[in-house]
């Protein structure tokens, strides 16, 4: 149950998609001078060293964030990509790409005084890393060593009635797909105006292949709910069916600006970090 370590995958193509979307949602929430909460159900370790440990063993970041890093000062790249690179730059000094921010670090960097970040993490090693990382910057951040699926139920609705809920389990077990759907249905019934960002992997597994349709069906059954679905595939599936070849983000109550930003960023990412002729993207949305 606890074999998954995000450090192996930090900064890969899935993180690029996931964190690019999160930054866009947060930027939209920050436009209003009103406080909001961010709740991250599967926080991970918070920040990852790309120069040692797990990241160097897999090298996945090299075809993801490391490919984009030299372009961070290029004003011609899509705005959504540039905004993500700005958040990565905030954690690094000069031109060296040493640290990659997980979602908790990006969220903490972007939140203002008065906003609140609630982090859940169940993995016994990751929670220690998370607590250690945020030890000196706890104001506005609460960390719980708990199951984020269960914890979310008691956190909604947040007091300001504005918020982003990020649901990002490892999908190590088939049960994760079902729990995401159940948790999402319950959460929206409690906090219907929140923005929900659900990440999922594209792998050669029945649960993964069926998941987008299940999310759309669930959202379609909810009254007055808009949704946006984006995927980024960087290569074809391996013959043995093993490995992550793409990922998706499903957003409930997305910012109105998100579709147009992704419509520019996704084809550019396919060209820039795509690894073979199977690289592709999808982008679709539905308004209630």
Active site amino acids:
168
Please state the length of the chain: 288
DSSP designation for 141 = E
Distance in angstroms (rounded) separating the CA atoms of residues 256 and 254: 6
With H, G, I as helix, E, B as strand and everything else as coil, classify residue 159.
coil
The distance in angstroms from the start CA to the end CA of the chain is 38
Nearest to residue 19, comparing CAs of 46, 51, 57, 58?
46
In 3D space, the residue among 124, 123, 143 whose CA is nearest the CA of residue 133 turns out to be 143
Strand, helix or coil for residue 252: strand
Count other Cβ atoms within 10 Å, centred on residue 25: 22
């Amino acid at each position: 149950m606890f074999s998954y370590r995000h450090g192996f995958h930090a900064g890969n193509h899935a993180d690029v998609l996931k964190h690019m979307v999160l930054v866009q949602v947060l930027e939209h929430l920050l436009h209003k001078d009103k406080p909001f909460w961010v709740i991250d159900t599967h926080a991970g370790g918070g920040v990852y060293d790309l120069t040692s440990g797990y990241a160097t063993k897999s090298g996945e970041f090299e075809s993801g964030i490391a490919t984009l890093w030299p372009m961070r000062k290029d004003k011609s790249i899509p705005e959504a990509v540039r905004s993500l690179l700005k958040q990565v730059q905030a954690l690094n000094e000069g031109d060296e790409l040493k640290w990659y921010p997980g979602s908790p670090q990006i969220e903490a960097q972007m939140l203002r005084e008065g906003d609140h970040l609630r982090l859940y993490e169940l993995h016994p090693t990751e929670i220690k890393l998370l607590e250690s990382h945020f030890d000196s910057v706890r104001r506005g951040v609460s960390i719980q060593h708990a199951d984020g699926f269960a914890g979310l139920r008691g956190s909604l609705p947040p007091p300001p009635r504005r918020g982003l809920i990020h649901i990002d389990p490892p999908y190590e077990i088939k049960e994760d797909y079902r729990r995401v759907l159940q948790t999402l249905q319950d959460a929206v019934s409690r906090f219907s105006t929140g923005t929900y960002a659900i990440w999922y992997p594209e792998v050669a597994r029945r649960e993964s292949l069926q998941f987008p349709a299940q999310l759309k069906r669930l959202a379609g059954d909810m009254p007055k709910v808009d949704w946006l679905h984006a995927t980024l595939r960087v290569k074809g599936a391996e013959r043995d069916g093993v490995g992550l070849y793409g990922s998706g983000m499903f957003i409930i109550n997305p910012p109105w600006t998100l579709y147009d930003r992704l419509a520019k960023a996704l084809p550019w990412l396919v060209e820039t970090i795509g690894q073979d002729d199977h690289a592709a993207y999808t982008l679709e949305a539905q308004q209630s």
